[in-house]
Structure 1
Amino acid sequence: MSSHVSSKLVLASASPRRVELLAQIGITPDAISPADIDETPRRDESPRRLALRLAEEKARAVAQAHEGAFVLAADTVVACGQRALGKPEDAAEARKFLHMLSGRRHRVHGGICVIAPDGTLRSRVVETQVIFRGLNEGDINRYLASDEWQGKAGAYAIQGQAAVFIRHLSGSYSNVVGLSLYDADALLRGLGYYPEAA
């Protein structure tokens, strides 16, 4: 396969966390183009399938406008049992999510999709298991007051104040932040993308 060193990389996400994660491994997207898609789960769709479908749909939507580029898309779904916990609408929903996660094991499904300049699509789902310690009302009130829960799947950010809630984590830490770096790098390299040396 010919090397696509000169090809551009488009990140199909508005998440500053994903940009920071990619920078950690020396990748700077040439463009950031968030996909505007309907993220409503389908009837009886598992959290794992949802994460994969949304990542693929985001990548396809953005690839149409960026011909000849690599497109990287991701989606994070926090699952408590078979229930997908999306981004909370308000503090009341965030409180409900935190009560559900308190003292329990949950899974974070990270869907990743890369489309190469020739249209080849590769995708996968990365699963991380996370166990929260029991949270009391004081813990939850303090966390809600921080506003850190806003815009976060499952109502928490592992790289912020919620780090103290995490009793155990099994799998990729960066997946919980928003993008498994190991898997994103493996998919990109597998399709021939290598970041240019600075």
Structure 2
Amino acid sequence: MAVPGTFRLIPAGEIDAEAVAGLVNRAYARYRHLFAGQRTTPEELLLEAGPDARFIIVEEHGRLIGSALIAPAERFIEPDMLGPSGTPRPEPSGVPEGHPWAGALYFGMAAVADDRVNQGIGRAMVALAEEIARAEGHPAVGLGTVREFGLVPYYERLGYRVIHEAEHPAGHWAFLVPHRYCELVKPV
């Protein structure tokens, strides 16, 4: 099956942040039974991404149908760099010695248009991130997800393994339920 769309890699400062934030919020809306509010705003998207980030942008006939953030993983080792709109973002704290994300490329905030889910776009974005990581000399790709989103088995099928899992009460990151944040990694 051919994956729809044209894939481009764009520096964070050059993306249409409003369009990407809109796609992210529509994609994360499928989890609104788990957390209140929206995932991001155009301003928070760029703040969370940081100055060294790039976005994988997938378009079809000029329409944005997929996006994902890639950046040096060290920026995201402090989990509160992530989280929905309104999360206070700390300064990046550096890499604890021996952390599996040290030197890795981070893949995150992935979103696919609702009418394009299950057409291989997400898997193709992950594969592109892995290809970029190898080409740039990163030893691994790291990512984080909330177990209750149901994506841990998906990433495990792609060769990722959970390296850390933290339980949080309802209210953390505006979640309506207790939840478990998982960090995953895949050597490339």
Relative contact order (C-alpha < 8 Å, sep 6+): which is higher? 1
More strand by percentage: 2
Using the size of structure 1 for normalisation, the TM-score is: 0.29
Using the size of structure 2 for normalisation, the TM-score is: 0.30
